[in-house]
Structures are given as structure tokens and as C-alpha cells.
Amino acid sequence: MSLYENALKQFNKAADLMNLDPGLKEVLSYPKRELTVNFPVKMDNGEIRVFTGYRVQHNLSRGPAKGGIRYHPDVTLDEVKALAFLMTWKCAVVNIPYGGAKGGVKVDPSKLSEDELERLSRRYFSEIRIIVGPDEDIPAPDVNTNPKVMAWYMDTYSMDVGHTVLSVVTGKPLDIGGSAGRLEATGRGVRVVTEEAANYLGLDTKNMTVAVQGFGNVGSHAALLISEELGSKVVAVSDVNGGVYNPEGLDIEELIAYRDSNGGTIKGYPKAEPITNEELLTMDVDVLIPAALENVITAENAEEIKAKLVVEGANGPTTPEADEILQKKGIFVVPDILANAGGVTVSYFEWVQGLQWYFWEIDDVRKSLHKVMKNAFADVMKARARFNCDMRSAAYTLAIEKVALATKLRGIYP
């Protein structure tokens, strides 16, 4: 099953649960626009290479499209469609006025020089400019893109229109219109819903044990904030090279410093014992946070999951088959479209700041993010009680209701 078919399966389950009108169900099952661009880039040696990129807009009924752009050799149109589809529901579940979009370029950026990467970025953005803009579609960083790439995008668009447009992308450097608190935002959102779910389950956050799979931006910030602000004991974390475990708890700040001075990996950290990613997933902990790749909790390992609470920091870390197993085991799952929506929420704050040319203090960003995430968690819990269903289906029903209502109120043009 493709990633898009997987996403549709989850959507259909929720749509059937809420008896969604068949016409609206069909409308919401399709992306509004799919743009494929093939564009030339001059390499440093003078060679011309052609790259393929995509930008997909799923739904615009609640506002402009929003979603990241990734650079990866395995980027496909199916993947980009699926991620745009998920972004629609993620924006709706936290009630920000966006529709879903996603973009990508089929490229291994590690094989390009910085000058080549800049030329590729600027040419790709000029190619998709026909459907992006501060009122139409606002891209952001994703896999293998970062604030520097966003700065190139913003400058490319601004040069084309003849004046500086801060609000055309989010995730920019602070010095050119980025938002305070953006880097930590997804991890902070995970921290907020972890606390809310723990309180609901009656878990004492100060005695709670936590394992985090993935120690990139999301996983490391989530681990740091959960240990420092909630007082929980993060006993295991992992990255692509494997994990580390200390039953007494890891010093996350020290581990981040070790990672940054060790080529970006936690492998070899001396104050913990090594474990595999597979061992981390099945550890006897209170909370498991998969914050790396999709499809890591599967039908093969779901029976071995021992955590009472799973908080999905990554997009699509649990397969539909594994989801059913976790439900039968009574494990409480906070789904990705709620758990990792902190990033797009602060991207929304950045967009608003850029439109107004007025920038917030970090305490204001954090306070606003906590309010949005807590309200969204409470709304999903109400939907869960109303439909007597699991959290993922509840989050989808809540999001689908909002998008379906906007679509119905606006009507079918012409």
C-alpha cells in the first residue's frame, strides 16, 4: 500500500464513522493541484543537469496552503500527495486557517556543493512560483531543507516581485523575519500533548519513564523539554546509528552537546549502554515517542510495545495494522496530526508576524503554542467521547468536520 493509500485508509475510516456526505468525501479525497516541474541546473563543472520537483496543494477551503519542501533522492509524487493530504488535517485539528500542501525535489543534497544547492533551490522555487505566494501557498523546511534554503526562497520571490516579502515562506533565519521559538516548536508541541495525555491517564510526570526514537530536531527538543519542564526520566534515545540507554535517566543537554561534537550521532555516548532502535521501541517505559521515520511501529513489533502512552512525533510512524494492535492492547496513542502540529502552529505565528512586520517575544510564542496545543488536545478528547473511538479517528473526525464545513459553506464554484 502506498503512503497516499495509507492516508486515504485512515481518512475513510473516520469519514465513515461520522457518516460524511459521499460528495464531500469524494471532494476531500483528491488534491486540488499537483504540479510537477523538470528544471535545469548548471553544476560547478559547467555540466547541465535536469532535476524533478513537485508541489501539491490538497485543500484551500480554510485558507492558503501550507507545508514543507523536502530534498531527497527518493521523493515521489505519491509521497508528496500523501504529506499534503495529512497537512490539511494537521492544520484543521489545531484550528489554524490553512489548507495542506507539500513539496519536494528528487535530489541527494549531500552530493551538491553549496553553490549548486543554492542554484537548484532558486530555480525550483521560481518554477513553482506560479502557485505559491503569501496569500496562496506558504512553504517551509522539511527533510534536508533548513532556514538557509528558506532564505534563498524568500529572496528569489522578493527579487521577482521587486520588494521584500517576508511572509512567502516560514522557517527563515531570525535575522530576516523568522520567528523566535520555531526550531523547538514541534518538540515543544510533543511535550505539551505528552503532559496532557499523561494527566488524563493518571501518570505522574515526575516519575514517568520515556523513550524517544529519533534524536534530530523533533526528538531532541521533545526529550529536553520533557526532562527539564515535566521532570520525567528520559531513559533511552536513538538515532539512525542506534540508541543509548541509562535506567537512571539521561542528561539530555549533555547528550545533545555530545551529538553535536560527534558528527551528529549519539553513537558511543559513554554514560549509557548501547541499544538498537528495535530494542528501544519495545522497552518497558511509560511513554514511547517515535520521532524519526514513518512505519516504524508495525504488525511485526506492535505486540511487543510495552509503553502505556505512544506520542507520535514523526509523521506516520504507526502502520494501520499496528494501530489496531495497539488499540486492542489498550495503549493510548496521540496521533501525528495532533502530536507534531507544534511546528506548523509556530509557522503560522511566523507568517502572521511577517504579514504585520511585527515580531513576538519568545515567551509570547511559547504561551500561544501551549494554548493552541492544549485546546486541540481537549477538542480531540471531546470528539473521542462523541464518536466512542480511538484518538486517531477522533483527530481525523474533528479535522474533517472543519474542512467539510468550510467546503460546504463556500459551495461548489461556479
Residue 266 in any domain: the answer is yes
- Residue of 66, 102, 233, 402 marked catalytic: 102
Question: Are 235 and 330 in the same domain?
Answer: yes
CATH number, domain with residue 165? 3.40.50.10860
- pLDDT tens string 161-201: 999 999 999 999 999 999 999 999 999 999 999 999 999 99
Residues listed for the chain: 414
Nearest-CA neighbor of 69 among 282, 283, 347, 267?
A: 347
Question: Are 172 and 192 in the same domain?
Answer: no
Question: Are 201 and 80 in the same domain?
Answer: no
pLDDT at 183 (0 to 100): 93
Cβ-based neighbour number of residue 248 at 10 Å:
9
What average pLDDT does the chain have?
96
Give the number of C-alpha atoms closer than 13 A to the C-alpha of residue 290, restricted to the C-beta side.
27
pLDDT band at 154 (very low <50, low <70, confident <90, very high): very high
Which residue, of 320, 339, 358, is where some domain finishes?
339
- Which structural domain, as residue segments, surrounds residue 261? 185-339
The answer on pLDDT for 5 being more than 90 is: no
Which residue, of 176, 205, 225, is where some domain finishes?
176
**Pairing, β 33-42 against β 48-57:** antiparallel
pLDDT at 182 (0 to 100): 94
Question: Are 211 and 234 in the same domain?
Answer: yes
Q: How does DSSP classify residue 63?
A: S
Tell me if residue 102 is catalytic. yes
**Mean pLDDT within 258-269:** 95
Residue 1 in any domain: the answer is no
Q: Looking at 294-375, which runs of residues are DSSP E strands?
A: 309-311, 332-334
- pLDDT tens string 77-88: 999 999 999 999
CATH number, domain with residue 289? 3.40.50.720
Question: Are 137 and 232 in the same domain?
Answer: no
Question: Are 66 and 146 in the same domain?
Answer: yes
Residue 389 in any domain: the answer is no
The answer on pLDDT for 1 being more than 80 is: no
pLDDT at 161 (0 to 100): 97
pLDDT at 6 (0 to 100): 81
Question: Are 212 and 278 in the same domain?
Answer: yes
What is the Cα gyration radius of the chain? 21
Q: Structural domain tally of the chain? A: 2
pLDDT at 58 (0 to 100): 98
Question: Are 200 and 328 in the same domain?
Answer: yes
- Tell if the pTM clears 0.85, that is, is over it: yes
Question: Are 256 and 143 in the same domain?
Answer: no
Question: Are 110 and 62 in the same domain?
Answer: yes
**Mean pLDDT within 209-225:** 97
- pLDDT tens string 330-365: 999 999 999 999 999 999 999 999 999 999 999 999
